[in-house]
Chain A
Amino acid sequence: MMADFKESPSQTAGPYVHIGCVPTFAGLQGMYGGNDLGAKMITGDPNGSRITLTCHVIDGDGVPLKDAMVEIWQAGPDGTYGPTEGFSHWGRQPTDAHSGELVFETLKPGATAGQAPHLLAWITARGINLGLTTRIYFADEDNSSDPVLAVAGDRQATLIAQGGDGSYRHDIYLQGAQETVFFDV
């Protein structure tokens, strides 16, 4: 393959990814009409169960990142990738500048073509040279025959959000004993 048509090499998003991707959050008042892309996934009154997913991205010292951004891409409640009236299958959230917390308000995805309900998540920040791809499953679903969880083997607990009744927590560990499984896919 000619180098001209090889993927552009990745570079870190740096410390100011929020300026480019969530400028209103970053303090650029009025940019893009004051609406950060991906901030709201539920935009109408779609069918399905509404869930709240609260996350942190945690470094090797156990400290939550304050300058990260996480995007998710997911099926709708019917297990398809839409489009779905009143619902965006894609969302984007910055980590809070003080707590490092980020929250997705979305719909619980349905099972997809032999896969348990899941979200695809992509993490970028200063110090991350190539965006990190992972998946998020749900503790209150039957995950026993999911083929991607099987790839994660004895580390699959790092991919499963805990909780229920519409409220889930999931922390992403970049390093350490609880290091989250990241995928080359």
Chain B
Amino acid sequence: MADHIIAPRDLDWHPKPLAPDYRSSLLRSPNHTRLHYDPTVTEMTGPTFGHGMLGPDDDDLIVNYAQAGEAAIGPRIIVHGKLLDEDGRPVSGKLIEVWQANAGGRYRHKKDGYAAPLDPNFGGCGRCISGEDGSYSFRTIQPGPYPWPNGGNDWRPAHIHFSVFGDGFAQRLITQMYFEGDPHIALCPIVQCIPSDTAIDRLVARLDMDNTVPMDIRAYRFDIVLRGRGATIFENQMEGT
């Protein structure tokens, strides 16, 4: 596969490492600024994952941890969209992993002691690989908001975590998806450490009635954008000949 030149990252667009209102960042944020170098072959290449590794229900959180014939409890939703780069081109064949709390706002994790009960039929993770046109889709239940220890009366907006791979390892990204209309978005210290409302808006999924299945399941649309990839080195060489 040809190597890609990867566009510089706009660090002012992302949250700063130290965000005092998000207390976990206090002891985990480097004090030095990141030192720059231009991507080498190491950063321009990255792992590839084939459809062959996926199980039939990996992209269906409603059933992928449920007993046979049962299903997770909660509002049924499709989350779908496109994986693109900053040039608007589809990023195809790339692994997308998601994880989330259940409909009551409880994670299946031994460190989560929130009063909301576990759902025996909900694990809380899923994965898929983007298609030729960058499209991806999975089914899940809408997660609930939950309180978290941050020194005050802090509640996370309902959210789904996304882990995304690109062509080059320098495009690697983890982020979170929120739901249109959630009043907790404006109150959440983790969301609000993103510097601009324009950037925050990019993480808010929209209700998508066109893809909502009548009497069955609602759809939310969420596009993900990775750092741009210039023309491939191979193509550059061809243009130069």
Contacts and interface: CB of A to CB of B under 8 A. Distances in A.
Interface in B61-77: 64-65
A38 B178 CA distance: 28
Contacts of B28: 59-60, 65, 125-128, 174-175
Contact of B125 (A20, A151, A175): A20
A79 B65 CA distance: 41
Contacts of A13: 161, 163, 174
Interface stretch (B102-110, B132-140, B213-221, B233-241): B102-110
A113 B172 CA distance: 23
B46 interface: yes
A60 to B, nearest CB: 4
Interface of A, secondary structure class, is loop
Contact of B24 (A9, A126, A148, A184): A126
Interface stretch (A46-54, A100-108, A116-124, A163-171): A116-124
A65 B107 CA distance: 20
Interface string B1-30: 000000001110111110100101111111
Interface of B: 9-11, 13-17, 19, 22, 24-43, 45-47, 49, 53, 55, 58, 64-65, 84-88, 95, 97-99, 107-112, 123-125, 127, 161, 163, 169-170, 172-176, 190-191, 193-194, 198-200, 202-203, 224-228
The 3 tightest CB contacts between A and B, nearest first, are A20-B99, A127-B24, A127-B28
Interface of A: 1, 3-21, 23, 26-28, 31-33, 37, 59-61, 63, 65, 67, 71, 73-75, 81, 88-90, 112-113, 115, 118, 120, 122, 124-133, 147-148, 151-152, 155, 174-175, 179-185
Nearest to B98: A20
Given A21-B163, A179-B31, A181-B32, A7 B125 contact: no
B170 A8 contact: no
Contact of B176 (A11, A88, A89): A11
B125 A31 contact: yes
A103 to B, nearest CB: 19
B15 A10 contact: yes
Nearest to A79: B41
B27 A61 contact: yes
A115 B125 contact: no
A129 B161 contact: no
Given A115-B40, A179-B30, A184 B110 contact: no
A151 B39 CA distance: 13
A9 to B, nearest CB: 4
